[in-house]
Structures are given as C-alpha cells and as structure tokens.
Amino acid sequence: MAESDKSMARPIVRQDQTKHIKAFTNYSSAGEYFEAVQKWIDETFYGHVVEKLVTNLGDRTDDIPLRVLGIGSGGGELEIMFLNKLLTKFPKIHTCVVEPCANSLTKYQANVKEHATNITFDWQNHTLEDFVGNQQENSLKYHFISVCHSLYYMKNLNKVLQSLHDMLAPGGILLVTITADYTCYGKLWKIIPDLKPETASQQVSSPAERAVSPPPHHRTSAQVHDALRQLQLQYHIDAYACPYKITHCFDEEESEERNQAIDFLTLPITLRDAPKDLLQQVLACIKECSVQRGNDWFFQLEHVCFFITKPT
C-alpha cells in the first residue's frame, strides 16, 4: 500500500459535538451569513411558509395557537426569526423545542427572554428519535415543523422524515434545510473519507453521547431528495447562498481561530488532527471552493430548503 493510501486509511477523530456547535454558532452569527438568512426569511420563508399557512389554515384570529415544532434548534437564533415572522399573521403560537444539547437549550431560553412574546414553549431536552418514541397516538399535531441543519446527525433519514410528516396537521408545512450537494460542501465531503462506524462507536462513551453521534456518511440535499421521492411525499424546493468568512483556515500557524474554521467546515470529524497530507488536500479543496475579496476568503456555500406540505 502506498504511504498516502496508508494515511488515508487511518481513523480520523470524531468531532466533539460541543466544539462543532460553538464553531457553527460563531460562524452563523457572522455578518454576511446573517444578512443572507434575514433576506431569505423576509422573502422566501414569508411567502412559502407564512402566507401558505394562512391559505391552508385560514386566519387564526381566535385564541387557538398555531402549533410549531423545532427539531435540533440549537440556541434558537434561526427559529426565533421564524417565530417572529409567523407572529405577523398568527397572534398566538405554542412551540415545542427538541434539542438534545442542554447548553444549547439554556441558550435558547435566554434568547427567548429577550425576543419572544405571545409564544408559549415546551422544552424537550431529547433527541428527535427519543421525542418520536414518546409520542402517543392521540398527541396533538403541528402546523409548522422545522429541521434546520440538524439532519446531519440523524441516522435513518427515511424514518425521520416519515415520522415528522406524520406529526403534521392537515395543511401543515415541514421545512428541512440542509447544505446543497452541488456546491462546495458536496465537493469537499466527497474527498473526505468516511468515518468508519466502528471507529465512531469506539470513541463514543455514554448513551446520551451515542444518541447525538454523527452518521458514518456526510449528508447533503441529494439524500433528502432521494428519501422524499422514496416516501412519495410532495415537496418543492428553494435555495439560498451563504458566504462564510473562513480566512483563518489558511493561516500558516496553528491557532484556536484556524482550528475552529477547519472544524466548522469539516463537520463531523476533526481533520486538523488528521494525517498532514489529507489536511493539505482538504485545505486545497476549500480554497478552490472559496473566493477572495480583499484580504479575506469566503467559502461559497448554498443551502437547499425543502417545503413539504401535508394535504388538507
């Protein structure tokens, strides 16, 4: 076996979930990303979710709240933006937040204190899989469910999507956002070797940690398309570009900022500890997928949004 093949075959360290969430939070609150998301919410989300729900459910000027479910909500930054848009047409909202990371849930609760009014919350510190397992046959259904950038962590995609669809009320909408297979992440992930399942299970210690461990393969919009077709669920799609400033990836010296930039892009494995030749190969691919403006490098990322409506 050639030297480079041997190093490619060595196991790569599974990324610590806390580190990834920290990196994701830092990057997703950065200027250009946030502006792109705000524009998408004002235009696409408003048209495809808020107005569509008004058409499907009618004006809810009564006291019955719109029922909302968030899966893998993180610190709630994105979901609070959804909720505020929904409030423009639905005066009362009840939202259930399913988030297995206790720190993120605490952060969401702190963010809500600052931003949300006319909304009641049900906090579920669980994985989606456990939450689904706890549902009763007569559990109330939801009018809007969002799964934003959290499908990467769930093992059985078809089962997850079917369960979420089953939890929708007639006329309700399920929104899935995930990175596009045809842009940089797709290319990047093709050259990152799969994390071997046995390696992952050896490194995961507690049952709670196992529940949030990443799947062996990176997931993009391509797998969601396939799953929805197999399940014969009706959907339409939209996409939005999100430039991430990742200049520190290419710093000569190792630093916390450089490590965080690399961790963010190589979810869910830690490539900075990988064999040097593989790291160089990945950094070259990241550069190829990025554009330079002034002294900064921007990773050209696109997210795909799937809108799945339950027939009325």
Ligand X SMILES: C[S@@+](CC[C@H](N)C(=O)[O-])C[C@H]1O[C@@H](n2cnc3c(N)ncnc32)[C@H](O)[C@@H]1O
List contacts with ligand X (CB under 6 A): 21, 24, 28, 71-74, 77-78, 98-101, 104, 127-129, 148-150, 153-154, 212
Q: How far is the CB of 259 from ligand X (least distance, A)?
A: 18
Token pair of 9 as six digits: 């075959």
Q: Judged by CB, which is closer to ligand X: 152, or 250?
A: 152
Q: How far is the CB of 177 from ligand X (least distance, A)?
A: 7
Q: Judged by CB, which is closer to ligand X: 93, or 278?
A: 93
The set of residues, in sequence order, having a beta carbon less than 8 Å from that of 80 and lying 6+ positions away, is: 111, 112, 115, 116
Q: How far is the CB of 145 from ligand X (least distance, A)?
A: 12
Q: How far is the CB of 264 from ligand X (least distance, A)?
A: 10
The set of residues, in sequence order, having a beta carbon less than 8 Å from that of 50 and lying 6+ positions away, is: 85, 86, 88, 89
Contact 172, 310 (CB under 8 A): yes
Residue with tokens 């000027």: 61
Selection from 64, 44, 67, 61 nearest residue 170 by Cα? 67
Q: How far is the CB of 126 from ligand X (least distance, A)?
A: 7
Q: How far is the CB of 131 from ligand X (least distance, A)?
A: 8
Selection from 183, 147, 184 nearest residue 165 by Cα? 147
The set of residues, in sequence order, having a beta carbon less than 8 Å from that of 77 and lying 6+ positions away, is: 25, 28, 29, 111
Q: Judged by CB, which is closer to ligand X: 57, or 131?
A: 131
Selection from 106, 104, 166 nearest residue 138 by Cα? 166
Q: Judged by CB, which is closer to ligand X: 77, or 296?
A: 77
Q: Judged by CB, which is closer to ligand X: 66, or 105?
A: 105
Q: How far is CA 115 from CA 53, 83, 110, 112, in A?
A: 23, 10, 9, 5
Token pair of 221 as six digits: 């919009």
DSSP 8-class letter at 156: -
Give start and end residues of each alpha helix (H) in 120-253: 128-133, 157-166, 184-191, 197-203, 207-211, 221-231
Q: How far is the CB of 230 from ligand X (least distance, A)?
A: 21
Q: Judged by CB, which is closer to ligand X: 100, or 172?
A: 100
Q: Judged by CB, which is closer to ligand X: 153, or 235?
A: 153
Give the span between the Cα atoms of 9 and 62, in whole angstroms: 61
